[in-house]
Amino acid sequence: MVQSGRTPFADISNAIGTGTQDTPNTTPVALHQIERKRQRERERYAGMSAEQKDEKNKKHREALLMKKTQQAQCNETKHPGVQDEILATGIDVRSIDG
């Protein structure tokens, strides 16, 4: 085996917060807190009645629709006429939006 002059396994215990794709920018304590919050939310949702779940889902869908329309309005103000150009090309926008 050829030695490259570097240590293959360096001490990475001080590498938290480097911002690379492999190491997230959160500490193990923060990850534990996030997971506990997710678990509480799962339990809270499981304890809801069907009507409460429907209401929560309805509000969530409304919020997503509102966000989508705001983004569309923002895009229209930044790039006016793009929708007309897309329609002129014959591209089905609904299939792109997913």
Per the listing, tokens 């089905």 go with 92
Taken in order 38, 30, 22, 1, the sign of the CA dihedral is negative
Helical spans, DSSP H, in the chain: 28-46, 50-78, 82-89, 93-97
Model confidence pTM above 0.95: no
The CA distance from 49 to 51, in Å, is: 5
What is the rounded CA–CA span in Å between residue 27 and residue 94?
Answer: 41
Report pLDDT for 77.
Answer: 74
Instruction: Give the span between the Cα atoms of 96 and 98, in whole angstroms.
Output: 5
What lies within 8 Å, CB to CB, of 16 at 6+ separation is 23, 25, 27
Q: Quick check: 59 pLDDT over 80?
A: yes
Who wins on pLDDT, 82 or 64? 64
In this prediction, residue 53 has a pLDDT band, given cuts at 50, 70 and 90, of: very high
Q: Does position 29 have pLDDT exceeding 60, yes or no?
A: yes
